[in-house]
Chains A and B, each alone.
Chain A
Amino acid sequence: DQQVKQNSPSLSVQEGRISILNCDYTNSMFDYFLWYKKYPAEGPTFLISISSIKDKNEDGRFTVFLNKSAKHLSLHIVPSQPGDSAVYFCAASGSSSSNTGKLIFGQGTTLQVKP
């Protein structure tokens, strides 16, 4: 039973356009969501996060949107750059004590930004 899902394995966009990566979750106890970027042969790098008390968080070209009623979050990258080409993972954690420090990851979406 996968609690965090990224249903699009891959996404291709043109340089300068917007990239939208999507993530769905099933556990209503999740209250903190993160996006990581991963290049080949490297570990995931933290990108941006959002708490469930917010519906939007922005950091430069990256914006994460959270729709709690739909249990859906998305990452917008604008404008997209070729260096953004990587695998993007969303992750979620909950506030219950049993979930302390436990991140649940999606399968990842491979983004390709074409020059």
Chain B
Amino acid sequence: ETGVTQTPRHLVMGMTNKKSLKCEQHLGHNAMYWYKQSAKKPLELMFVYNFKEQTENNSVPSRFSPECPNSSHLFLHLHTLQPEDSALYLCASSHPGHGYQETQYFGPGTRLLVL
């Protein structure tokens, strides 16, 4: 596979469930990102990982817990979510080293519905 892949593509969960989103990049990048896109809103950055280290947490509630075991994989662990957390969750990756002018490449996203 090439590019950035995300699983599952769709997820329905109750507020008491625990689930995880997975992202994998095959581009040799060292930075990975989680974004949230709610209806009619801009993409919101949630977390940034550079070389497996978290470098940005954009005031995300603790019910979202990221994990980056290596530069190719990124997880988003979900627990006790709220209906307003229903959104499209996008993963992206980039290759730091070209100054700060990095192009991020996105996966297809996971459409999450919290009931």
Contacts and interface: CB of A to CB of B under 8 A. Distances in A.
B99 A95 contact: yes
Interface of B: 4, 6, 31, 33, 40-43, 45, 48, 50, 55-56, 90, 92, 94, 96, 99-109, 111
Contacts of B33: 101
Contacts of B90: 43-44
A113 to B, nearest CB: 22
A42 B40 contact: no
A103 B6 CA distance: 20
Interface residues of A, number: 29
Nearest to B99: A95
Contacts of B104: 46, 101, 103
B42 A42 contact: no
Interface string A87-115: 00101011100011111111110000000
A23 to B, nearest CB: 11
Contacts of A45: 106
